[in-house]
Structure 1
Amino acid sequence: MSPTRTAVVTGASSGIGAATAAALAAEGFHVFCAARRLDRLEELAERIGGTAVACDVTDAGDVARLAEVVGGSLDLLVNNAGGALGVDPVAGGDVDRWRRMYEMNVVGTVQVTQALVPALEASGAGTIVNTGSTAGHWVYEGGGGYVAAKHALAAMTETLRLELNGRPIRVTEIAPGMVRTEEFSLVRLGDQAKADAVYAGVEHPLTAEDVAETVRWVATLPPHVNIDLMVVRPLAQASNTKVHRGPLLP
């Protein structure tokens, strides 16, 4: 019997991270579910047969403990932890928010990647999937610090792929557009009515499970196949700034 494949999913306590952990477990992976909220992680890990690991990716000590729990070999790392804070304009943005978004989306991803690359290489066929965003490829007003952070993540992902060339580790960025989850827009805007307005009239925004399916597909391709970048949007969204609201036309 072949050994069980292992995966780490950061930001696994809700949304895309939780859905990804569940999808990978259904595919046969033992998933190390990492996030700050241990109570949510323990419920998820029990449900999918995984392992809950309390980890703030911006804390070097937490990341080191995550690597210890994972051990010497790892098949898949999904760097999903991140998020957006506010819609401040660049000229009037809250610098502390910018700094926090950079720490969550970029520095945290770098710390986890550095800690787990040795285990990914030891597996003989490792895969890194970074959850980016269409905000990391096309700018929009009010994006400010989030757009800047996700552009940095995209650049880091491309650089990492170059630097790991010749080693048995694939590197992919999945860049979702409009995804409706229970927390992303609420955390960003701080108000449920404003969060709901983001999706108002959009017949079918993406779900967390839609994005999880793209991660599952990338992770289960033959190991010589690397998907550099996958952009995934709902049909109603043609770009970051053009969204059809109302029934889709016949």
Structure 2
Amino acid sequence: MIGRLSSSKAGAVVSDDFVHKPVLLDRIVDLFSEVPAGLYVDATLGGAGHARAVLQANPGLHLLGLDRDEVALSAAMRNLADMPDRFELVRTGFDQLEHLVRDRTHQGASAVLLDLGVSSPQLDQAERGFSYRSAAPLDMRMDRREPKSAMQVVNEYTYPELARVIRTYGEERFASRVARAIVEARPVTDTAELAEIIRDAIPAAARRTGGHPAKRTFQAIRIEVN
């Protein structure tokens, strides 16, 4: 699913809370400052923290910024507002990267950046349902136009399907126990309830190490949804 973002559309989304410190910023700027002039793709744009620094360091680059999250794109639009001729933002995933680049240049991209994972602003926005640290609807969609949310994964997947997701994407060694507990507790309506079900399904000894007992299962569901 692809959507171009215009400045008028950006104003419709409140994203003042989308503040994210880019990782390895100095290193990335050093690398990209020497890239030949041309198209630079940030395929996981977020709030454009990396992109802004790269464009400032290398005046020969033109940005194609991709992200599935409307809130992130709105923040990026504002962050880049003082350089309007140097970027294009597209609401889509990086799986569309190849044909988007091909449509814009025969030379291909001069550089591509991917910063994979969930950003801290997404985790901090409780209503998005990404985090196990607060009660929120089971959503977890980066692109809220998509029909499948965590609600469907948690409440509609069969036991084998759910166990596979938790084992494959979360590397949770108690995947079968967790999946069984979720199925038996249905319907599950929010993230706090899901986190408690997961915690109770994992043996007490295993809960004492490795961080929050729900983190691997939440990771798995986020990946499956997105």
TM over 0.5: no
Q: TM-score, normalised by structure 1?
A: 0.31
Structure with higher Rg: it is: 2
Q: Which has the higher strand share?
A: 1
